Structure 1
Amino acid sequence: MTRQPRFAAYPRRSPWLAGLALTVLAGPALAADRLKLILDDDVPMLHPAQLMALQSPRVDVLGITIVSGSTWRDENVAHALRMLEIIDRPEVPVVPGSAFPLVNTEKETERWESLFGKLVFKGPWMKQWVEDTVQTAPNYHAHDVVPDLPEGNPSLEASDEIAANFLIRKVREFPGEVTIIATGPLTNLALAQRLDPEFAATAKQLIYMGGSINPRQMRDSVSAAQFAREFINTPRLEFNFRWDPEAASITLRAPWKKITMIPVDPSTATELTPKLVERMSAAGTPLSKAFQDHLETGFPLWDEIATAVWLDPSIITKSSPLYVDVDTSFSAGYGQTLSWSEHYQPGLGEQLQTVVRAIDVERLENMMVELMNRPLQRGTSEQY
């Protein structure tokens, strides 16, 4: 028998959860009022961050645009398509974007390492870990190779549109209404902005996971210590920015109405633990089964914070207004986060952002549990 989630076990309910209950009661009648969202990501596996938005009845996911990052674009596309199959959401388009950074290359990265030291993580250019780690061994392969997926290969097909064009088309279709949550390198957004200088200004807002300010290890676990390697000696060096620094700089200088930055900093207090996965899998849905079989634990909740902050900004417990940019000089600082308080920025197009420094971890986890245990949001015409 399918076991239903027992939400009464989690008594702390945020204003977001109250809104969720009202939306559920209202049903399809409020479909036109749902929040419009595009997810731009390097989906490397079944991804709770994406699923939080897809499972929320408050949200109309217009599409998922894919970029290379943690793994190559085509492999990420396959993961996204398979995820949509598992939750029965075939109507959500998966749109391939950039396969490579604007300027950075594997050879240039190797040259940089020969001058300035080894990077902890290089995404699909990673051939082996520098030191012993609990993380899965890298699966190094060519950009156009898609290995068999552990969760099963998809039968759905990706859109034949280009991600940058899709992004431009959708923000122009719904001017001032589309939020973009970007949780991979920012190449797709930079290309869209270069193609259409009004792109960023036409969107509602940008929320992105990338960069780092001053992260510190907050959890006492083996996994937390492993991920702390990335910022012990280089606290401003984060993968999403480092993969494509030029794209990050272009995107962050664009004239968005509102920008929210999720740096590494708040993620150090979080971890996808086996206990959290068990709570997220309590309902016994096909998604729960996929989580139990294929969701790799131990990772910080980098991208999940971005989605959660959008759904319920009150989970933010500390933030700072900062101007943010990225170092694009081929030096030891290539790809590092640059930030300034008001009056100290150089004035070269930097935009003021809300930088999230800490969150309520318990409320984040409860939100994830609530959404992952909901009945699957079926992609029927009555919902749209």
Structure 2
Amino acid sequence: MYPLRGPLWLFAILFSSRALSHPSTAPYLNTTTTGNPKVILDNDWNPTAFIAFLLPLFYNWTVLGLASDTANSWALQTGLHGLASLEIANLSSCIPVYKGSDYPLLQTAHTFQTYELLHGELPWKGVFAKENTTFEKLGNDPTSGDPRRIVKEAFTTKGYYGYPNVTFAEGSAAEFMVKAVRENPGRVRIFSAGALTNVALAVRLDPDFAKNTAGLYIMGGYVDRFLEQAIGDVLRADLVSDINFIVDPEATKIALTADFPNITLVANSANGVIPDQAFLDELVAVNDNPLSRLVRANQPTFLPFWDETAAAVMVDPEAVILDEVEVYVDVDTSYHSPLYGYIRPYQAALMPPGLRKVKYINKVNDTKVAEMIKTVVEFPPKDCSELGTGGKM
């Protein structure tokens, strides 16, 4: 983990944390709720992001559906990745994919690129990187330009991957979220590992949506954007670019002030599990299957398992969370601020009106998270008939 500096150091001083001691192993079944937990996973899906939905499946959770959003690429392209992953996993017939909003609420490629001229370039620009057809032909997902563009090379140039033969479910992602929560009040968790546009739209579509969920889990909310940049480490700077929030700051504010029963943020603490080649090779060596081959061929060895760590926090908090705090957070939605899209944590005594308390995960058990990732990739369900059987580590 990184040394505490600037706002992050202050964050640690201002808020008293709850240090948790956990065993290194735990049953690979959810024991915190009765019945069968249900979840909707909203993400900017890519060829290896399916690990985020394998985790709840392995814990006997019901995945009601996947939603695609615009964050690292456009919602159409990321949704096609979700469809392709499900098809390779033989799960297309039981888990639908709903396409999310093409655009954030206010942010556009133009406003983002103008922002960078005013405040400096971000090391990772996500969907608002300038359009580059040369990179796309090499297999990169589309950025900027037309959100309806499909770059098939992002599927066909990847090892053990391919363009999906299945299609999206009918209706928008936000409408699906609202409908699912109405049909299962108090039972549906919302997992967001991309931008929060679809979640914000669901909040606005139905005033009872947020309070009738079982909670919101978010991969995002970095405290110190400038962490490690002082020593010129480009990768470390990249790790704290909160692109999920920057793509749609206004949607982030809507989500973080909505009346969800609980909100959990996993951000800086998600930087700890970075696979090396030995990690990826072991996946196939233990059990050579379509998904383990897919991860070994396409998972970068220089980026953390961000989304997967957030999913691990959601499905097995007792085993994964080592330190957490409860704080009030706001989101900077001033376009002319250098921290546009970043959260601002507050004590109750100092917070402005209209904020709500969230759970901020300071530290996770990286060894446990890595173990969970390995297990679900090495032993995925063979098809829909195996869902609900779960397993033990």
Instruction: Please give the TM-score of this superposition, normalised by the length of structure 2.
Output: 0.81
1:108-127 paired onto structure 2 within 5 Å: 108-127=111-130
Q: Quick one: which of 155, 158, 164 aligns to 2:174?
A: 164
Instruction: Name the residue aligned to 2:352.
Output: 346
Residues 107-157 of structure 1, C-alpha deviations (whole Å, 9 max, x = no match): 11122122211122221221389xxxxxx9775453111112122100011
Which deviates more from structure 2 when the two are superposed, residues 46-55 or residues 190-199? 46-55
Which deviates more from structure 2 when the two are superposed, residues 208-217 or residues 72-81? 208-217
Instruction: Please give the TM-score of this superposition, normalised by the length of structure 1.
Output: 0.83
Instruction: Name the residue aligned to 2:108.
Output: 105
Q: 1:381 to 1:229 in 2, by over 3 A?
A: closer
Instruction: Name the residue aligned to 1:322.
Output: 327
1: distance between equivalents of 2:112 and 2:227?
27
Residues 204-262 of structure 1, C-alpha deviations (whole Å, 9 max, x = no match): 011101121147979xxxxx94431237xxx6x51111100000000000001011111
Q: Which runs of 5+ in 2 are unaligned?
A: 1-22, 133-138
Give me the CA root mean square deviation. 2.6
Count the aligned residue pairs: 345
Q: Quick one: which of 252, 262, 266 aligns to 1:262?
A: 266
Residues 74-105 of structure 1, C-alpha deviations (whole Å, 9 max, x = no match): 11011100100111001200000111110011
Instruction: Name the residue aligned to 1:376.
Output: 381
Post-superposition offset of 1:316: 1.1
Instruction: Name the residue aligned to 1:361.
Output: 366
1: distance between equivalents of 2:387 and 2:195?
35
Which deviates more from structure 2 when the two are superposed, residues 311-320 or residues 238-247? 311-320
1: distance between equivalents of 2:302 and 2:166?
30
SS of residue paired to 2:189: strand
Q: Quick one: which of 335, 342, 348 aligns to 1:336?
A: 342
SS of residue paired to 2:185: coil
State whether residues 333 and 341 of structure 2, in contact with CA within 8 Å, keep that contact through their aligned partners in structure 1: yes
Q: Which runs of 5+ in 1 are unaligned?
A: 1-11, 23-31, 130-135, 219-223
State whether residues 253 and 330 of structure 2, in contact with CA within 8 Å, keep that contact through their aligned partners in structure 1: yes
Instruction: Name the residue aligned to 1:244.
Output: 248
Q: 1:137 to 1:44 in 2, by over 3 A?
A: closer
1:173-252 paired onto structure 2 within 5 Å: 173-214=183-224, 225-230=233-238, 238-252=242-256
1: distance between equivalents of 2:225 and 2:364?
13
State whether residues 61 and 388 of structure 2, in contact with CA within 8 Å, keep that contact through their aligned partners in structure 1: no
State whether residues 245 and 335 of structure 1, in contact with CA within 8 Å, keep that contact through their aligned partners in structure 2: yes
Aligned amino acid, residue 273 of structure 1:
D
Q: Quick one: which of 19, 33, 36 aligns to 2:35?
A: 33
1: distance between equivalents of 2:96 and 2:387?
18
Q: 1:64 to 1:190 in 2, by over 3 A?
A: same
% same residue: 27
Aligned amino acid, residue 213 of structure 1:
V
1: distance between equivalents of 2:141 and 2:37?
37
Q: Quick one: which of 22, 25, 30 aligns to 1:14?
A: 25
Post-superposition offset of 1:267: 2.4
Residues 163-201 of structure 1, C-alpha deviations (whole Å, 9 max, x = no match): 111000101111101111110000000000011111000
State whether residues 216 and 228 of structure 1, in contact with CA within 8 Å, keep that contact through their aligned partners in structure 2: no
